[in-house]
Chain A
């Protein structure tokens, strides 16, 4: 009996006759109930010959271009949310740095604010979803930063550009980040707690020296050991 109910629900799900709330419920349950997910998949296979009957109709060429721009608009929405979180993080970073500087004064007053010679720092730069996109490692003695890409490449007509985002004052470009792994000379002193960000720019990097495109990934430098 329960089997018939599950089969009927799965079959109607594939048939398309469930109303919106019933359908949402089936979709939510499919994640938790492999039996239901398997029943749905079987119904889809059973009825697929009816879909094949429709044959093939070439969609208009505008369908792909519209799809591509909707996809980048979706990415854009994510970027606006990221920008907000960058502002929040900037504030949080400033507060954390302030707290850290007080601690430093109390514990080792004279070394406050100075990067240690030969120190290494790392930052994991990620997007809104939290998945890592780049790993940055700074070698203060060699004055280099290594960027290792672990996420996807930029669109072919765009470049990723890495930025230092100081708590106050203008952002500083640290160069483009299109290669899967890139060792760059560092033209600025970076400290733990420093915020790094990656924006999407025209191919070859921002023409203005400031980020012009959306900020897609951010991360904070931490001592490597």
Chain B
């Protein structure tokens, strides 16, 4: 419960910083960077192929955060989630622009990933994470692989199509079905 209160406090602090960044306060931007860059860098680092590409994507992500801070709506999402979406999309843009990624798709699916889902020391919302783990565990292996590779490593439909030897259109259908079953399993809300 203490962790929950802690997480709430951190979220409130980040939301206040984002509001200041929307007012073009550079000191708040610096603080926001200090508070969130290690998490975002870890997320980006999983997607990009090199440390240099990750650094580039991190900078771009923060420029987007600076530009769009006024669009952050605390009623819709938590600040870390909002920034994570921006960071992941920026990293994904970067790898899809470059060709080096195609050659290095030998990343093994991290089978441990799902097991680690309930590790409270890294996950901010333990309950949500246990639920998600239960639902991901319940998925058929290929579908679970597709969802995890896409979300954690930024794999495209084309990359998934090669890895799982299915047509791109089938990958799209499978991804959407997997998402629907995941949503249902999580209670649909």
- From A43, A48, A64, name the one whose CB has the most chain B CB atoms within 10 angstroms: A48
* Complex Cα gap A15–B160 (Å): 13
CB-CB under 8 A from A17, the residues of chain B are 150, 155-157, 160, 171-172, 175
Q: Mark A26-70, 1 if CB is under 8 A from B, else 0.
A: 000000000001101111111111111111111110111011001
Residue from A43, A50, A60, A62 within 8 A of B148 (CB atoms) = A50
Chain A: which residue is nearest B61 at the CB level? A67
* Complex Cα gap A50–B144 (Å): 12
Asked if A7 lies at the interface with its beta carbon under 8 angstroms from chain B, I say yes
A-B contact count (CB 8 A): 166
For chain A, the count of residues having a C-beta within 8 Å of the partner chain is 46
The A-contacting residues of B in range 172-186, CB under 8 angstroms, are 172, 175-176, 179-180, 182-183, 186
Would you give the shortest CB distance from B153 to chain A, in whole angstroms? 9
Chain B: which residue is nearest A63 at the CB level? B55
Asked if A152 lies at the interface with its beta carbon under 8 angstroms from chain B, I say yes
Asked if B92 lies at the interface with its beta carbon under 8 angstroms from chain A, I say yes
CB of B80 within 8 A of CB of A48, answer: yes
CB of B122 within 8 A of CB of A55, answer: yes
* Complex Cα gap A40–B81 (Å): 11
CB-CB under 8 A from A4, the residues of chain B are 176, 180
CB of B39 within 8 A of CB of A12, answer: no
The B-contacting residues of A in range 87-111, CB under 8 angstroms, are none
* Complex Cα gap A152–B175 (Å): 45
Given known pairs A16-B92, A16-B151, A59-B37, the reply for A53 and B123 (CB within 8 Å) is yes
Asked if A1 lies at the interface with its beta carbon under 8 angstroms from chain B, I say no
Residue from B62, B96, B132, B148 within 8 A of A46 (CB atoms) = B132
CB of A51 within 8 A of CB of B43, answer: yes
Given known pairs A50-B151, A59-B55, the reply for A7 and B180 (CB within 8 Å) is yes
The A-contacting residues of B in range 20-72, CB under 8 angstroms, are 23-26, 29-30, 33, 37-39, 41-43, 45-46, 51, 54-55, 58-59, 62-63, 66
CB-CB under 8 A from A204, the residues of chain B are none
Chain A: which residue is nearest B133 at the CB level? A49
Would you give the shortest CB distance from A110 to chain B, in whole angstroms? 48
Asked if A149 lies at the interface with its beta carbon under 8 angstroms from chain B, I say no
Given known pairs A17-B150, A50-B148, A55-B122, the reply for A44 and B37 (CB within 8 Å) is no
* Complex Cα gap A20–B89 (Å): 10
B contacts with A: majority SS: helix
For chain B, the count of residues having a C-beta within 8 Å of the partner chain is 69
Asked if B137 lies at the interface with its beta carbon under 8 angstroms from chain A, I say no
CB of A56 within 8 A of CB of B38, answer: yes
Asked if A155 lies at the interface with its beta carbon under 8 angstroms from chain B, I say yes
CB of B175 within 8 A of CB of A12, answer: yes
Asked if A23 lies at the interface with its beta carbon under 8 angstroms from chain B, I say yes
- 24 A-B pairs in the complex with CB atoms less than 8 angstroms apart: A4-B176, A7-B180, A12-B175, A15-B150, A17-B171, A17-B175, A20-B93, A20-B96, A41-B77, A48-B81, A48-B128, A49-B132, A50-B113, A51-B81, A52-B39, A53-B113, A53-B123, A53-B152, A54-B39, A54-B45, A55-B39, A60-B51, A70-B59, A152-B25
The 8 closest A-B CB pairs, nearest first, are: A49-B129, A11-B179, A56-B38, A8-B176, A54-B42, A41-B76, A57-B42, A59-B41
What is the interface of chain A, defined by CB distance below 8 A to chain B?
Answer: 4, 7-8, 11-12, 14-17, 19-20, 23, 37-38, 40-60, 62-64, 66-67, 70-71, 74, 151-152, 155
What is the interface of chain B, defined by CB distance below 8 A to chain A?
Answer: 23-26, 29-30, 33, 37-39, 41-43, 45-46, 51, 54-55, 58-59, 62-63, 66, 73, 76-78, 80-82, 84-85, 88-89, 92-93, 96, 113, 116-117, 119, 122-125, 128-129, 132-133, 147-148, 150-152, 154-157, 160, 171-172, 175-176, 179-180, 182-183, 186, 189
